[in-house]
Amino acid sequence: MSQVEVRNVTKRFGRTVALDDVSIAFEDGGFFALLGPSGSGKTTLLRTIAGFHFPDSGSIRIGERNVEKVPVEKRDIGMMFQNYALFPNMSVAENVGFGLRVRKVGSAEETRRAREALELVQLGHLGDRRPSQLSGGQRQRVALARAIVTNPKVLLLDEPLSALDKTLRVDMQIELKRIQREVGITTIFVTHDQEEALTLSDRIGILRDGRIVQAGPPREVYNRPVDAFAAGFLGEANWLSEGALAGLTLPADPSGRRFATRPEALAISAAAPAPGMNAVRGQLVQRVFAGAMATCLVEVDGQPWKLIARDRDIPELPGDGAVWLAWAPQDTLVVPA
């Protein structure tokens, strides 16, 4: 268990710059999500920390050790792959014991620790099976057990849950979080699923074009995005056009800034809202009922806006679709233009 520190790392593949002067620290025992669109460099960053790539410049520390020139075999990491990458020619127990056997811990200890790891992921009874005889969720757990059995300094997860269907994914998220807490291992995981990032991690890093756009606790990144990309990528943002700013209480000088709201911060009504609230007029395009929650798509000054609220909190709306959208002034997002 160690702190991981990436300092000024640049990595090029041919002419493309995959990582552009990236500096980021991963706290000891923390659960860190790297989030970004495809091609943002998040996987490259993970694989560079793992040791599959060596940075062109910059340094990487795992614990007390500078590892930027150490190959992956010697970095003492645990990694979980998108497609699990279980060895099909070995049993589940052999898969989990592989890293221990490589470290020559002795067969008795290998068996004991492999069983412990399998019990941790609640698969103690399946050690003799082949990976091909397991379900997707079980394979996932085996891959996790295999990644942590050697007590690595850091656990790296490359889109670990993206191959699972939605219900199973939520179960695995909870399970992953439980095991991570139990083991206390520094965990870095890559995902393009923002909900997953918010659910699991205690810190988030948003990447774009090989740079870290913003890093911090999920709530902070969500509520105070540093730029329009971060605001739009983590959660959804309703942008206020310049013409709509008049009469609103804004937290900052509008010159050189853009303002937005989150869909869940809005209230919709047919009548003008109480004074003290920010409000804009809009035209209701669609109201989508989804059980407990409902989504309203509203056109505001030519911009598409979205509102998410409990369905019961949305009042009867007029037939002509002319509505007010209101939010508390402190819920306004501010980013540089």
Partner 1 sequence: MAEVIHAQDRRRLLTLLGPAYLWLTLAVFLPLSAMLFFSFLSDMPGDAPDWGVTLGNYTQFLENPTYATLLWKSLKLGVTVTLFCIVIGYPCALVLAKSIKGRAREALFLMVILPFWSNSLVRIFSWAIVLRGNGVLERTLNWILPFDIRLNLMFTTEAVVIGLVHSYLPYVILTSYLALQAIDDDLIDAARSMGASKLTILNRLLLPLSLPGLLAGAVLVFVPVVGSFMEPRILGGRMGTYYGTVIEDQFVAVYNWPLGAALSFILLAVVLVILGAASPVLRRART
* Binding of partner 1 by 48 (CB under 8 A): no
Using CB under 8 A as the binding rule, whether residue 150 contacts partner 1 is answered as: yes
Number of residues that bind partner 1 (CB under 8 A): 26
Between 131 and 235, CB nearer to partner 1: 131
Q: How far is the CB of 98 from partner 1 (least distance, A)?
A: 6
Which residues, numbered 82-121, are part of the site for partner 1 (CB under 8 A)?
82-83, 85, 87-90, 98-99, 102-103
State in angstroms the smallest separation of the CB of 1 from partner 1: 17
Q: Segment near partner 1 (CB under 8 A), from 32-40, 72-80, 274-282, 310-318?
A: 72-80
Query: Does the footprint of partner 1 cover residue 162 (CB under 8 A)?
Result: no
Per CB under 8 A, which of residues 263..302 are in contact with partner 1? none
Nearer to partner 1, 74 or 125 (CB): 74
Taking CB under 8 A as the binding criterion, the range among 145-153, 196-204, 214-222, 228-236 that sits at the site for partner 1 is: 145-153
Question: Is residue 138 a contact residue for partner 1 (CB under 8 A)?
Answer: no
* CB of residue 197 to partner 1, shortest distance in Å: 22
Judged by CB, which is closer to partner 1: 97, or 235?
97
The alpha carbons of the chain give a radius of gyration, in whole angstroms, of: 24
141 lies in the site for partner 1, by CB under 8 A = no
**Of 52, 227, 229, 321, the one binding partner 1 by CB under 8 A:** 52
Q: Least distance from C-beta 166 to partner 1, angstroms?
A: 24
Examine residue 163 and tell whether it contacts partner 1 (CB under 8 A).
no
Under rule CB under 8 A, residue 76 binds partner 1: yes
Angle subtended by helix axes 136-148 and 92-102, to nearest 10 = 20
- Write a three-state SS string for the chain: CCCEEEEEEEEEECCEEEEEEEEEEECCCCEEEEECCCCCCHHHHHHHHHCCCCCCEEEEEECCEECCCCCHHHCCEEEECCCCCCCCCCCHHHHHHHHHHHCCCCHHHHHHHHHHHHHHCCCHHHCCCCHHHCCHHHHHHHHHHHHHCCCCCEEEEECCCCCCCHHHHHHHHHHHHHHHHHHCCEEEEEECCHHHHHHHCCEEEEEECCEEEEEECHHHHHHCCCCHHHHHHCCCCEECCHHHCCCCCCCCCCCCEEEEECHHHCEEECCCCCCCCEEEEEEEEEEEEECCEEEEEEEECCEEEEEEEEHHHCCCCCCCCEEEEEECHHHCEEEEC
Asked whether position 77 contacts partner 1 by CB under 8 A, the answer is yes
- Contact residues toward partner 1 (CB under 8 A) are 50, 52, 71-74, 76-79, 81-83, 85, 87-90, 98-99, 102-103, 146-147, 150, 156
